Amino acid sequence: MSMNLTETRALLLYVAENMVSSEPILTELDLKIGDGDHGLGMQRGFAAVRDLLKTETFQPKDVGELFLTSGTKMMSSMGGASGAIFGTLFRAGGKAIAGKENFDATALAQFLTAGSKAVFDRGGAKPGDKTMMDALVAAEKQADLVKSKSLKEALIKVVQAAEKGAGNTSNQVAVFGRAKSLGERSLGYIDPGAVSMSFILKYMSEFVNK
């Protein structure tokens, strides 16, 4: 199973609308160990993506450009570290699948692998540092294992990996961001960025499996 450009655009629109609605959950998580602004930043960024995708004059030539332009929108609207990180993920992932007319399990794996490398190159965070990378790298590894499956099957497995990665952050001491200053007190709390990463994939899976 793969999705054409129109279907992938509808997929991203579904993700964007649900990320906007997830603001209260993400804000609550961030209030515990961060500045409390992560949810609002994600809401702003994905509202901008939603508006872009609803604009009839926006006619990307392939799925790569669709993701890349969405990432650019996030960077310009989200602000803060989240805008840079999630914008980088979408831009680098989009570049990796440039020219593709369909989005399938192979494209998902390429998107996550390239996005993960670009985020690491930008910020230096790795799994175990209590960041979105804990969910992203887990998802990337799983996506590579299931890239020969249908997109539906692949996303179910990838979401499970991302959610496990996000959940594991509650056992970690923060190394980056505001939570870093909490030291051991950051234990027991899930990283909101990792949850955001798992949510993006969860909403993708919901869309293709509904």
Distance between CA atoms of residues 23 and 20, nearest Å: 6
DSSP bridge pairs for 4: 102
The reported pLDDT for the residue numbered 181 is 84
What is the number of alpha carbons within 13 Å of residue 8 lying toward its C-beta? 27
Q: Which fold has domain 5-209?
A: 1.25.40
The reported pLDDT for the residue numbered 193 is 96
The reported pLDDT for the residue numbered 30 is 94
The reported pLDDT for the residue numbered 106 is 98
> Is 165 in contact with 134 (CB distance < 8 Å)?
yes
Summarised one tens digit per residue, pLDDT across range 67-124 is 999 999 999 999 778 889 999 999 999 999 999 999 999 999 999 999 999 999 999 9
Residue 34 has pLDDT above 90, yes or no: no
Q: Please tell me the pTM assigned to this model.
A: 0.97
77 contacts: CB under 8 Å, gap ≥ 6: 44, 45, 47, 48, 83
The reported pLDDT for the residue numbered 176 is 85
Q: String of b and e for 89-126 (b: at least 16 CB within 10 Å)? A: bbbbbbbbbeebebbbbbbbbbbbbbbbebbbeebebe
The predicted model gives 139-158 an average pLDDT of 98
Summarised one tens digit per residue, pLDDT across range 163-195 is 999 999 999 999 887 788 888 888 999 999 999
Confidence of residue 20 (pLDDT cuts 50, 70, 90): very high
Phi-psi sector, 130: left (phi>0), alpha (psi -120 to 50), beta:
left
Distance between CA atoms of residues 187 and 200, nearest Å: 24
**Distance from chain centroid for Cα 49:** 13
Confidence of residue 59 (pLDDT cuts 50, 70, 90): very high
Other CB atoms within 10 A of residue 183 CB = 10
Residue 139 has pLDDT above 80, yes or no: yes
Query: Mean pLDDT for the chain?
Result: 96
